[in-house]
Structure 1
Amino acid sequence: MNRSARSSADLVVAADTVHTLDPQHPHAQAVAIVGGTVAAVGSRADVRGWCGAGTEVVDLGAATLTPGLVDGHVHPVMGLDMTAGTDLSGVRTLDGLVAALRDAAAGLERGGWLRGWGLDPNAFAGAPITAAPLVRAVGEDVPVLLDLFDAHSALASPAALRLAGVGGPRPFASGASVVCDADGRPTGHLLELEAIALVKDAAPVDDPASRRQRLRDLLRRMAAVGITAGNAMDFEGDSHDLVRALEEDGELPVRWRFAPFVMPGATRADLDRVVEQQRLHGRRWQVEGAKFMIDGTVDGGTAWLAEADTHGESTRPFWPDPEEYVHAVRHLAAQGVPTVTHAIGDAGIRYVLRALAGAPTRTGVPHRVEHLETMPSDLVPLFRRLDVTASMQPTHCTHYTRADHGDNWSQRLGPERAGRAFRTRDLREAGARLALGSDWPIAPFDPRAVMADARLRRTAGHPQEEPVLPGQALTARMALEGYTTHAAAAAGLADRAGMLRAGFRADVTAFALDPLTADPDEFAEAPVLLTVVDGAVAHRAGEALAVS
C-alpha cells in the first residue's frame, strides 16, 4: 500500500511475508496499527515513518502475517459443561472405555459423579450403545454421565438415571428421547439436548469462580493458536454473567458473536426475548443472531434424511412440526435477527434452504446453515443463489469418517449418501460463501489443523490415512479464506474485517510458516508467533500464559 499512518502507530508488526488478502494490494511486509484499527500497510522501508516515541515494533523476520483467524462455529460456554471430567476422545474399544473409567474412578470421592466427554460411538463397534460398560467399570452405585463426541447424545449409568428420576421414556417438545429397551427400561443412551438435560441437571455443577477460570483459560489457549474471533453457537445459562465478569477483569483474548438457542416449542415471548438479547454487548462481544437445529446427528440416528438410515432411523426433524421452525425463523428475520441453523441430513438441509428462501435479511448479515454433512448436488448452487452462508467443520469429516466407509457414520448412511459428504470444494466452486470452524468441543479448535485437514481430507500428521473424498479438498487459499475473508463476509463485516487494509479491524495472526505454501502436515504444527486482537497483543510466542 505504501502509505503513511496519519499518526504515530501504537504497534507495528513486520514479517517477510504478509498475505493481506486485499485483492488491490495482496502483499506487504509491515502493518501499522493505531488503536484497534489498521492504519497503514506497506514495506519495511515504511516502518520508520510510522513510528513515534511510544510505538512498539515487532519484526518477526521470516514469519508470515495474515488477517486474524475467525472460528466459524464453536461452543465456548456450553463446552465448559461438555468437557467436564475425563477426556475419552482417545477411546477406541469398550475394553478401553472400561479401563479409562476405572482409572478415573480411582480418585472419586464417595458419592461423587464420574463425568467424561468426547466418547466416539465407534467404540461400540456397531453394537447397541448402552450403559453396560459403565456398570462393568464401576458397578451399579456410581453415577456416571458421559457426553458422546457429537454433543447430541450421552450415556448415563443406572445410578445417574435414578438420581435424575428417569425410569422410563419421556415426552419432549423436540425430537429428543430416552432410549428404552423392549420392557420400557432406559438403556442409558440419551438422544438430544432435552433428554441429556434430565440427567445433567441432576449432576453437580462447577462454582462460578471455577467456570470463569476455565473460560478465561480456554480463550487464552484459543488466542495462542491464532484465533482472534469466534462465532459462539450458544448464549445459555450463565453465558452473560461469565463474559461480563471476564471483561470486568480485563479484555477478552478473543472477540465473540453469540447466537442464543431457539428450541422447538418456542413461544412468541421466547422469540421476543431473543430479539431483545440482540442489544447485549461488551467491548469485544455481542449477541448477534439466533441458533436453530432442524435435526440432530447421523451417528445418533437423529439426522433428518429423505430416506431412513441403515438402522431405520433419522427420518424425523428435530422440530416435530417443522412449520413452527419456518415461522420462528421468518419472524426473527423480519425483526433483523440473522439466523443460524444446524442441518446435517439431506432432507433437513433442503427444508432449511426452502425456509430461508422466504426469510428477509435486514442487517446485512446473511443467514447461515451449519455442518451440511450429506447433501445432494441440486442443493449446492442454492447457497450462492439465496446468499446463504455455508458453515462447515472439515475435521468432522477427517476425524470421524473413513475412506473405506468402515465408520459408524458412513455405515448408517450407506455408500451413496456417504459419497456426497462434506462438499466443501463443490460449494466453493459453485461460488458459495464458506466459513470454516471447529465446532469445539466436538473437535479440537486449533485452526492450523482444521485448515490442513481441509486440504488433505485426512487427519494432519497421519499420512498413512486414506483421504476421504479427496475431490472435495480445498486449496490452501480457500482454507485460509474460510477463516478470514469468508468469515468476515458471513458476519456482514466484509467492509471492515477479514483483510489487512487501512481502516480495517486490527486483528492479525502470525505464523512461523506460510499457510499458502507450506506442506499442510508441517503447517499444522507450525508455531503461532503472535496474535493481535483489536490492536493489542493477545498472544506472543515464548510468553507463559498468566493464570489468575
Structure 2
Amino acid sequence: MTPDLIVLADTIHTLDSHHAHPLQAVAVSGGVVAAVGSRQDALDWQATGTRVVDLGSATLTPGLVDCHIHPVFGLDLTIGVDLSSASTLEEVRALLRTEAARDVDWLRGWGLNPNAFGTAPLHRNVLDDVSDGKPAFIRLFDGHSAVANSRALAVAGIHGRYEFEQASEVVCDSDGVPTGFLIEAAAMELVQSHIPKEPFDERKSRLGALLRDFARSGLTGGHVMDHSDESSALLQALEDDGELPLRLRTAPWCMPGSGEGEWKELARTIGTGGRRWSIEAIKLFVDGTVDNGTAWLYEPDLYGQSTAPFWPRPEEYTGAVQYFASRGIPTATHAIGDAGVEHVLDALESLRGLVPADILRGTVHRIEHLETVPDDLVDRFKGTGVVASMQPTHCTHYSLADHSDNWSTRLGAERADRAWRCRDLREAGVTLGIGSDWPIAPYEPLPIMADAQLRRRSGAPEQEPIAPSQALSALQALEGYTSHAAKAAGLWDVSGSITVGKRADFTAFELDPLTADPDEFAASSVLGTFVDGEIQFLLERLA
C-alpha cells in the first residue's frame, strides 16, 4: 500500500461496528479508505509522496451528509431581506421599509415566520404602505407560501380565484378579491414568473459561495430535494471550475397533472450528472404544510383546513410511485400530516406483488418531514424498509413546548404532542436521515445535531424542550448525518462509515460529537472536511 493521504486524529469514530479498538489513523488511496489503525501503524504506511495531515486532539468521523437541502432552489428563496429574525409584525414592516429604500425593482423578502403576525391575517395591506410603490413578493419560512402586495398582483394580472392541477390557491376574500396570500408553488409562480431573472454568472457565484460555506460547516454531501435544467448547468459549471466541494445527490419533482409521458422523461434523467453530482431519485409531494393549512390530516385543523391532498386525485400519486419503483428508481415523498404519511405508506406497500422482489429490495424509498403521526403509523414503519427523513430544527425553531406557536395551535394539543417522533422511529428500527431543509432552516449541522438531542434550540437553555421523549442520543444524531444518511440514499456499501474500500469522505471536529455537551458542541468548530480523500476545507491553523 502506498497511500496518497494519511489523516491522524486522537479520536476516530468509524461508525463501523467491526472496529472495536481505539483508532487514530486513516490511510487513503485513490479516493477510498485503504487502511485504518493506530498512529504507530501510520508510520509503517507512510511512503514518499504521502501527505500526512495531523489533526491532533480532533475527532474524525465519516463525512456529514445533509439529507434534505435545496441549494439551487434556495437561491430564489433567499433573495432580498432575511425576515427570519422578526418576531413581531412591526419588526417585519421595519425590515421591509429598509429593504424598499434600496435601489431594487422588486421588494423581496424571505424566511417570514407566521407567528410574527399573531392573530392578524396574512394580507397584502401589510406590504402596500412599506413597499415604496414597488411590487413586493415575500416568502414565508416554509417555502410553500408567499404574500404579494397590490402592485405585484396587478403586474401578474391576478384579479380573482384560479383553478390548479395541484392543491394550490390564490386566497381571496368573501368578495372574490385576492388577499395577496399565495399558497403552494403554482399560485406563487403566477407572480414569480414576472420577476426579472438573476444572471447565470451571479447565480453561479452565489451557489459556489454557498457550497463552500456548506463545506466549512462540516458537510461533505447533501441530498438535494429538487432539480432543474438550470441545476445541471450550474453544478456542471462549478465542477468544471473545480469548485464543487461536496457530493450532491439530486431529485427532480414529479407533480400533479403529470402522466406517463412526463414520468418517462424524468426516469431518463436518473444516473446523469458529473463526478460529484448526479440525479438519483424522484421527489413527490402528497401535502403542503401545517402552517399554511395545506397539510393532509385525518381531521381538520383549528381553522377547518388541512384535509386535502396535494394531488387532487391521490391514486395518481400512487400510480407515479409504482411507475418509478417498478424501474428501480428511488422516490422521496414530502408528507407532513398523518393522513399524508398513511397514504404514502399505502402506496409503498402496494409495491409488493407489483414490483419484482429483487428490484424492490434494491431500491430505497423515503418519506420526508413526518411532522405529526400517531402510534399506529410509527408501528407501520417496522419492517417496511421505508426511510424517514426528518429535520429536528423544524421542531426547535418553529414550535414551542407550550403549544402557543402557529403550528401547534392549528393542530391542537393531542396532535402537537406527536411532534417529530425521531426517537420512536429509531426505536422501531427505522433508518432516520437528518437534515436541515435549507433555506427553510439554517444548514449548520452541529447545531442541528445538538437540537436533535436537546429538543430545543442549542444555546438557549432557558427554553423548555419540545416533546423531550423524542430526543436522540448523541450517537443517533451522528448516525443521522453519516451511516443512516448513506442508507437513506442506498449507498451504505460505499459510504457512511470509515471502512476499507469505502469513499474517503471525512469530517473533523474540535469536540467529540459523542461525548461533548450538546450546547458546547453546537458552538464549537469544524476543523476540516475531506471528499474523495481531497481536502475541501481545513482550518487555517491546521493547514
Deviation of 1:55 after TM superposition, in Å, equals 1.2
| Other-structure match for 2:289 | 297
| Other-structure match for 2:467 | 469
Q: Distance in 2 between matches of 1:36 and 1:156?
A: 49
| Other-structure match for 1:15 | 9
| Other-structure match for 2:71 | 76
| Other-structure match for 1:514 | 512
Deviation of 1:236 after TM superposition, in Å, equals 2.1
Deviation of 1:362 after TM superposition, in Å, equals 4.4
| Other-structure match for 2:489 | 491
Match of 1:133 among 121, 126, 138: 126
| Other-structure match for 1:324 | 316
1:67 and 2:62 correspond: yes
In structure 1, stretches of 5+ residues that fail to align are 1-5
TM-score using structure 1 length: 0.96
Q: How does 1:258-297 map to 2 (within 5 A)?
A: 258-297=250-289
Deviation of 1:504 after TM superposition, in Å, equals 0.7
Q: Distance in 1 between matches of 2:151 and 2:331?
A: 39
Q: Which residue identity lines up with residue 97 of structure 2 in the other structure?
A: R
Q: Distance in 1 between matches of 2:490 and 2:192?
A: 36
Deviation of 1:114 after TM superposition, in Å, equals 1.0
Q: Which residue identity lines up with residue 117 of structure 2 in the other structure?
A: F
| Other-structure match for 2:213 | 221
Q: Distance in 1 between matches of 2:42 and 2:386?
A: 41
Q: Which residue identity lines up with residue 60 of structure 2 in the other structure?
A: L
Secondary structure class of the residue paired with 1:422: coil
Deviation of 1:363 after TM superposition, in Å, equals 7.2
Deviation of 1:220 after TM superposition, in Å, equals 0.5
Deviation of 1:51 after TM superposition, in Å, equals 1.5
1:88·1:97 contact (CA, 8 Å) conserved in 2? yes
Q: Which residue identity lines up with residue 395 of structure 2 in the other structure?
A: C
Q: Which residue identity lines up with residue 35 of structure 1 in the other structure?
A: G
Match of 1:144 among 124, 136, 141: 136
Q: Distance in 1 between matches of 2:471 and 2:501?
A: 33
1:539 and 2:537 correspond: yes
Q: Distance in 2 between matches of 1:437 and 1:54?
A: 38
Deviation of 1:190 after TM superposition, in Å, equals 0.4
2:232·2:273 contact (CA, 8 Å) conserved in 1? no
Q: How does 1:369-448 map to 2 (within 5 A)?
A: 369-448=367-446
1:104 and 2:70 correspond: no
Q: Distance in 1 between matches of 2:229 and 2:134?
A: 27
| Other-structure match for 1:3 | none
Q: Deviations over 1:313-357 (max 9, x none)?
A: 001000000000000110111111111000000000001100011
Q: How does 1:237-276 map to 2 (within 5 A)?
A: 237-276=229-268
Deviation of 1:476 after TM superposition, in Å, equals 0.2
Secondary structure class of the residue paired with 2:436: coil
Q: Distance in 1 between matches of 2:255 and 2:49?
A: 51
Q: Distance in 2 between matches of 1:126 and 1:539?
A: 46
Q: Which residue identity lines up with residue 475 of structure 1 in the other structure?
A: S
2:325·2:363 contact (CA, 8 Å) conserved in 1? no
Q: Distance in 1 between matches of 2:527 and 2:412?
A: 44
Q: How does 1:61-210 map to 2 (within 5 A)?
A: 61-109=56-104, 112-139=105-132, 141-210=133-202
CA RMSD of aligned residues (A): 1.3
Deviation of 1:303 after TM superposition, in Å, equals 0.2
**Structure 1 stretch displaced more, 354-363 or 260-269:** 354-363
Q: Distance in 1 between matches of 2:50 and 2:194?
A: 54
**Structure 1 stretch displaced more, 163-172 or 475-484:** 163-172
1:236·1:260 contact (CA, 8 Å) conserved in 2? yes
1:295·1:348 contact (CA, 8 Å) conserved in 2? yes
| Other-structure match for 1:500 | 498
Q: Which residue identity lines up with residue 326 of structure 2 in the other structure?
A: A
Q: Which residue identity lines up with residue 5 of structure 2 in the other structure?
A: L
Q: Deviations over 1:57-110 (max 9, x none)?
A: 11111110000001000111100111111111101111001100111111124x
Q: Distance in 2 between matches of 1:483 and 1:387?
A: 18
1:98·1:136 contact (CA, 8 Å) conserved in 2? no
Q: Deviations over 1:131-161 (max 9, x none)?
A: 222113125x311111100000011111111
Give % identity: 55
1:340 and 2:335 correspond: no
Q: How does 1:449-464 map to 2 (within 5 A)?
A: 449-464=447-462
Q: Deviations over 1:489-534 (max 9, x none)?
A: 1111112211101101100000000000000001011111010011
1:355 and 2:347 correspond: yes
Q: Deviations over 1:437-479 (max 9, x none)?
A: 0000000111101100000000000111000000000000000
Deviation of 1:128 after TM superposition, in Å, equals 1.2
1:97·1:133 contact (CA, 8 Å) conserved in 2? no
Q: Distance in 2 between matches of 1:137 and 1:447?
A: 36
Q: Distance in 1 between matches of 2:199 and 2:100?
A: 21
Q: Distance in 1 between matches of 2:542 and 2:17?
A: 37
Q: Which residue identity lines up with residue 515 of structure 1 in the other structure?
A: P
Q: Distance in 1 between matches of 2:361 and 2:468?
A: 37
Q: Which residue identity lines up with residue 10 of structure 2 in the other structure?
A: D
Q: Which residue identity lines up with residue 528 of structure 1 in the other structure?
A: V
**Structure 1 stretch displaced more, 360-369 or 534-543:** 360-369
Deviation of 1:225 after TM superposition, in Å, equals 0.9
Q: Distance in 2 between matches of 1:544 and 1:496?
A: 28
Deviation of 1:251 after TM superposition, in Å, equals 4.8
Deviation of 1:543 after TM superposition, in Å, equals 7.9
Secondary structure class of the residue paired with 2:24: strand
Number of equivalenced pairs: 536
Deviation of 1:365 after TM superposition, in Å, equals 3.3
Q: Which residue identity lines up with residue 368 of structure 1 in the other structure?
A: R
2:67·2:435 contact (CA, 8 Å) conserved in 1? yes
| Other-structure match for 1:38 | 33
Deviation of 1:240 after TM superposition, in Å, equals 1.0
**Structure 1 stretch displaced more, 536-545 or 122-131:** 536-545
Deviation of 1:36 after TM superposition, in Å, equals 1.1
Q: Deviations over 1:262-316 (max 9, x none)?
A: 0000121110011101031210011111000000000000000000000010010
Q: Distance in 1 between matches of 2:229 and 2:394?
A: 27
1:365·1:491 contact (CA, 8 Å) conserved in 2? no
Q: Distance in 1 between matches of 2:272 and 2:6?
A: 33
Secondary structure class of the residue paired with 1:13: strand
Secondary structure class of the residue paired with 2:26: strand
Q: Distance in 1 between matches of 2:83 and 2:504?
A: 38
In structure 2, stretches of 5+ residues that fail to align are none
1:119·1:146 contact (CA, 8 Å) conserved in 2? yes
Deviation of 1:126 after TM superposition, in Å, equals 2.6
| Other-structure match for 1:51 | 46
2:436·2:443 contact (CA, 8 Å) conserved in 1? yes
Secondary structure class of the residue paired with 2:332: strand
Q: Which residue identity lines up with residue 118 of structure 2 in the other structure?
A: A
Q: Distance in 2 between matches of 1:544 and 1:442?
A: 33
Q: Distance in 1 between matches of 2:516 and 2:24?
A: 18
Q: Distance in 2 between matches of 1:491 and 1:363?
A: 13
2:59·2:509 contact (CA, 8 Å) conserved in 1? yes
